[in-house]
Amino acid sequence: MHSSDLAFDQRHIWHPYTSLTSPLPTYAVASADGVYLNLHSGEKLIDGMSSWWSTIHGYNHPELNAAAHRQIDTMAHVMFGGITHTPAIELCKRLVKLTPEPLDAVFLADSGSIAVEVAIKMALQFQVSRGKTNKNKLVTIRQGYHGDTFAAMSVCDPVNGMHELFTGVLPQHVFAPAPQIKPDEEWFETDISALAKIISEQHENLAALILEPIVQGAGGMRFYHPEYLRQARKLCDKYDLLLIADEIATGFGRTGKLFACEHADICPDILCVGKALTGGYMTLAATLTTRHVADTIGGGPGGGNLMHGPTFMGNPLACAVACASLDIIAKGDWHQQVAEISAQLKAELEPCRTSVHVADVRVFGAIGVIEMQKPINVAAAQKQFVAAGVWIRPFGKLLYIMPPYIIEPLQLAKLTKAICTYCQNPV
């Protein structure tokens, strides 16, 4: 890649969560295979991010490549309005089979944020359809993150969710304190008492509770006790709220269960999935709900129609690759892979706790998190990590990794060593 291309990129192209006036440095990737990102400048980096949780099977996977090649020779895309096709049908069959039995109605979206938008729309339309027009607010927990579109932003943490600038514009929903008890700690009912109080007092105006089950992602990379989720399900049942589980980051094995809700043995009324759905090959997401919710909406005003239809909804190419990705998941190798990654992360990141620069070390499933005492200089940290042959993208005070499931122990050790080296002397 010519230096003029990088200069053009820096001058004209917005990258995620950065400024076009003073952008963070970018690194040009020429190709990717397995767990490696191969830079134009010659470096070969072990990817600790799975391209933001998505590339669980690694890059350039032969089965996913083959599925994409087969499908693109048939049709890359057709509209989903008034048309259907085998890849979409086969994908939805797999999703209905993989998810809890009550979830049998599938809306195919084109990104995780849109899946959340659709879930919120479903919940509000469900309440309108049964004459509960006063139930038009959502309740959620702080430290959450659900995406960057407007309805999704409105249920992100007002401060840590990155959208504080839009506070006066976004719909005003109800926030409960974030859970504090970690998965391996003793459970106390006091952890959910604030949420219980809010729901008991405001349930007549609440349509749904939306949360990320067990693992809160970009809002703080926090893990909480499964009993909190179990009790939240009971509160929704008692006070007539729908429960929306945002499993866009946690779905398809990342936490050690196929879906994080399984840690609490509960089923949501609405489930959002995305990211790893296609194995990181292209953007696709889905919102699943129960027959009861679907039928209630179907019997409501406006002809019972759910008025949402992304242009690339049900994209055949994405659906075909997603089917292949879920076929790999169905083989079950991820169980052992995630368990081994988790054990290695716990063993190799725990020594970081002794550093005066580290506030906390936490691991859950194939997710490792180091919380620093002070905000991280992202540009300087990434330069150090690239020099060490790894790709890690910090944010705020957090260093975290969620590597592809196929990573080998020596490759993972290179990631953890780079993190531990940084923690001893942050740049």
Q: Any idea which residues carry the catalytic annotation?
A: 17, 145, 246, 275
b (16+ CB within 10 A) / e for 378-389: beebbebbbebb
CA 276 from chain center: how many Å? 8
Burial, 197: exposed, middle or buried (Cβ in 10 Å; 0-12, 13-18, 19+)?
Answer: exposed
- Find residue 390's DSSP bridge partners: 46
- 2's CB contacts (< 8 A; 6+ apart) are none
What's the CA gap between 194 and 196, in Å, rounded?
5
Phi/psi of residue 274, each to 5°? -175, -140
Question: What are the start-end ranges of the H helices in 350-408?
Answer: 378-387
Residue type, 141: I
The answer to whether the CB of 286 falls within 8 A of the CB of 277 is yes
b (16+ CB within 10 A) / e for 168-177: eebeebbbbe
Other C-beta atoms lying within 10 Å of the C-beta of residue 33: 12
Nearest to 6 by CA among 57, 43, 41: 41
DSSP sequence for 130-198: TT-TT--EEEEETT----SSHHHHTTS-TTTTS-GGGTTTS---EEEPPP---TTSPP-THHHHHHHHH
What's the CA gap between 63 and 71, in Å, rounded?
12
What's the CA gap between 240 and 365, in Å, rounded?
32
What 3-state class would DSSP assign to 33? strand
b (16+ CB within 10 A) / e for 125-158: bbbbbeeeeebebbbbbbbbbbbbeebbbbbbbb
- 309's CB contacts (< 8 A; 6+ apart) are 80, 81
- 234's CB contacts (< 8 A; 6+ apart) are none
